[in-house]
Structure 1
Amino acid sequence: MENNQEKSQEEMVKEAVEEAKKAAEASGAPSEDEKAADEVASEDAENTEDTEEGQKEMEDSKESGKKLFGKKNKKDKKDEKIEELTDRLTRQMAEFDNFRKRTEKEKSHMYEVGAKDIIDKILPVVDNFERGLGAVGEEEKENPFVQGMEMVYKQLMTTLEEVGVKPIEAVGKEFDPEFHNAVMHVEDENFGENIVTEEFQKGYAYRDSIVRHSMVKVAN
């Protein structure tokens, strides 16, 4: 009798549970399994949203980094103007230095040309001194006038030498067309080939340039 009562109670409980399930299904309320599935789906959605937000933040960070490091800083207008003026000043200084050097070279060349022209005009005076003193006999060398002329001649030659004028060596030297002007040729066994034997007019050089070539006689 007791067993029948217990069974009937168990059956009643089962029936009540079944009826509750049916009622819940009919009313649309989710079951335990459905709740668990919904919770899992909700967590997946939240994780997906977090992932998408993280990716978006990373992309924004990369983009800002590109803008920060990839983009060149634009120069200020004042800095550009300073650079322009500095470059212009440097160019003008270089041009001025070149102009100064060129002017100095031209002045030096003009001075040398002018000096050679003056020296060339003085040389005939030197020639006349030498001819006159060369014509003085031995008995007249003690004459005060002759001695005075010799002193003037020596002073003139010393002054020319101080400014860079020197006579060109000729007699006994090998003929060199750069220094000598051959106006006569002679065959002489006493001299070697192409040797200057006599000087008709003395040549002079000013510094490194020739003012007047020596007029000479060349042997062999």
Structure 2
Amino acid sequence: MTEQPTDPTAPDVTTEAVNDDPQAAQPGAAADEQETPTEGTAADEVADAGVGQAAPETDLAAERLADLQRLQAEYVNYKRRVDRDRVEVKQSAVVEVLTGLLPVLDEIHLAREHGDVVDGPFKAITDKLEAALGKYGLVPFGAVGEPFDPTQHEALMHAEWNPDDENLPSDATTTTVVTVLQPGFKAGDRVLRAARVAVADPT
């Protein structure tokens, strides 16, 4: 076997030196380690870019949410107002009809005072009419012996106190109703007409 000539100027390389130096055994390792990019650099750049783009969208979503909440509040207030107005309109219509029928009820009251509403068809008609009006909250009030109340009674006469009148309370100490000229009427808590009465002061 022919021996290769040796170059006297070449450095001496021994097997031990190569085995002792890992980088020498892997000549590309150092280069690869230097070329490896810093971890997270590209991801951070993408994240930073995303943050800048998401902020306007977040502000727009918050603005739209505020608009929606304002519209919902306006709708709730509108519905409440409409419901309240509907009830008031209905009550006003009922009160107007009942007020228009008060003269008829006054005639029935006078007929009853004169003994004309005792029996027969007329009594049946008056009973049905008063029952029908009662379903709409119409209630008559005013009776002999009640203490005079200016919010409930309209005093048209001032009479003498009659201690023998069994309808008058014996222990009355204030002005008292002694005669009901026209009964008063209420629709619920609303006074349609005060009772027109004659009053007297106990002696």
TM-score category, normalised to shorter length = 0.5 to 0.7
What secondary structure is seen at the aligned counterpart in 2 of 1:76?
helix
One-letter code aligned to 2:193: R
Percent pairwise identity = 24
Residue 170 of structure 1 contacts residue 180 of structure 1 at CA under 8 Å; is this kept in 2? no
Alignment length, in residue pairs? 142
Q: Please tell me whether residue 187 in structure 1 is matched to residue 166 in structure 2.
A: no
How far apart, CA to CA, are the structure 2 residues paired with 1:148 and 1:130? 16
1:173 corresponding residue in structure 2: 146
1:105 corresponding residue in structure 2: 84
1:130 corresponding residue in structure 2: 109
Structure 1 residues 34-183: aligned runs within 5 Å: 76-136=55-115, 147-183=120-156
| Shift >4 Å, 4+ stretches | none
Shift of 1:149: 0.8
Shift of 1:189: 5.2
What secondary structure is seen at the aligned counterpart in 1 of 2:120?
helix
One-letter code aligned to 2:189: D
Residue 201 of structure 1 contacts residue 215 of structure 1 at CA under 8 Å; is this kept in 2? yes
How far apart, CA to CA, are the structure 1 residues paired with 2:187 and 2:131? 14
Q: Please tell me whether residue 219 in structure 1 is matched to residue 200 in structure 2.
A: yes
Deviations 1:67-116 (A, max 9, x none): xxxxxx76622221111111111111111111221222222222222211
Shift of 1:133: 4.2
Residue 94 of structure 2 contacts residue 136 of structure 2 at CA under 8 Å; is this kept in 1? no
One-letter code aligned to 1:81: L
Residue 142 of structure 2 contacts residue 180 of structure 2 at CA under 8 Å; is this kept in 1? no
Structure 1 residues 2-41: aligned runs within 5 Å: none
Aligned CA-pair RMSD: 2.1
Shift of 1:205: 0.2
Structure 1, gaps ≥5 residues long: 1-72
Pick the structure with greater CA Rg. 1
Q: TM-score, normalised by structure 2?
A: 0.63
Structure 2, gaps ≥5 residues long: 1-50
